[in-house]
Amino acid sequence: MDTPVDTKKSPIAAGLLGAIGNTPLIRLERASAATGCDILGKAEFMNPGGSVKDRAGLAIIQDAIARGTLAPGGTVVEGTAGNTGIGITLVANALGIRSVIVMPETQSQEKIDFLRMIGADLRLVPAKPYKDQGNYVHVSRRLAEENGWTWANQFDNLANREGHRLTTGPEIWEQAGGRIDAFTTSCGTGGTLAGVAMALKERDPNIRVTLADPMGSVLYSWKTNGTLEMSGGSVTEGIGQGRVPENLNGAPIDDALQVTDEEALAQVFDLTQHEGICIGGSAGINVAAAIKVAKRLGPGHRVVTILCDGGARYQSKLFNPEFLRSKNLPVPPWML
């Protein structure tokens, strides 16, 4: 064998950590044709752990190591809808760190199985609102306090949005050749929206940033009239909020819109069937939101959004006719 590759000077990624990010930016052909715009989706489902949250896992762990609050041999604990747990566990495995993942038991079986498969110490808890001390976020904080573990705290830890400001945002800018009219995405922690918005507005303050919110979340009302009202609910996972996480504080967001599950799933199924791009529910919300933004702007504009994770993570839910019927959602004919 020749001398080992210098990964800093070569396109070969340095292990798992080097393989996170640099995802393709895909032009969604049907949405683009329907609006006369360029609708571009950042294919975050192509990250090693299958979601945008690999980036947050990496950014948070690297920040904790740099601060001296986490080191190989240590333990990181996090409350998560699943994807952050996957990102954290993969990064932790690569660095010799132990991960403890607290997750509401309502999340998809596929995410639960994947977390077990990669060796996370998984603690499932009943789904409770944030104001209840049994909520998964509080359980993870208490576990950190009681055991002296490092709490990732993705909702309020600004290392999360900083990771997106330094990677996702600049990647989008470069890939789009600096020509972007609008950016929209939904929020769990808000790390993706805030970090990308900051990076894009630093480069061009005229880029319009729109928060896309599912039903049953307070963020639309927060951004639109400063109240924290919500109604309805959503089958999407990983997005929607009952409070305003620290990662959204001071983020340069221009406006917000709401997307229903019906609108989101129409995009999920359309992209899968006609473009071969199989995405999860939050990505469906984002594509539906990008189409609304494009219609408001009119033909000739370019709108960027995030394809957060892939449909395979929701086979037993969104791609299951029985589940759809149980939620009174339309079942596409090809699924029967």
d(CA 70, CA 97): 8
Give min distance, CB of 289 to ligand PMP, in A. Answer: 12
Instruction: Check: CB of residue 40 under 8 Å from CB of residue 27.
Output: yes
* Sheet strands (E) in the chain: 25-27, 38-43, 75-79, 98-104, 121-125, 150-151, 182-186, 208-214, 255-259, 302-307
Question: Between residues 104 and 190, which has the closer beta carbon with respect to ligand PMP?
Answer: 190
Give min distance, CB of 29 to ligand PMP, in A. Answer: 23
**Sequence-separated (6 or more) residues with CB below 8 Å from residue 225:** none
- Closest residue by Cα to residue 87 from 184, 188, 176, 9: 188
Question: Between residues 45 and 301, which has the closer beta carbon with respect to ligand PMP?
Answer: 45
Residues engaged in binding ligand PMP (CB under 6 A): 51-53, 81, 83-84, 187-193, 237-239, 280, 282, 308-309
Residue 53 appears among annotated catalytic residues: yes
Give min distance, CB of 327 to ligand PMP, in A. Answer: 17
Give min distance, CB of 236 to ligand PMP, in A. Answer: 8
Looking at the DSSP bridge assignments, the partners of residue 150 are: 76
d(CA 182, CA 184): 7
Question: Between residues 74 and 160, which has the closer beta carbon with respect to ligand PMP?
Answer: 160
Question: Between residues 144 and 152, which has the closer beta carbon with respect to ligand PMP?
Answer: 152
Instruction: Please pick, among 8, 9, 53, 317, the residue that the annotation labels catalytic.
Output: 53
Question: To which residue do tokens 């984002």 refer?
Answer: 286
C-alpha count within 13 angstroms, C-beta hemisphere, residue 198: 20
Nearest-CB residue for ligand PMP: 238
Catalytic machinery residues: 53
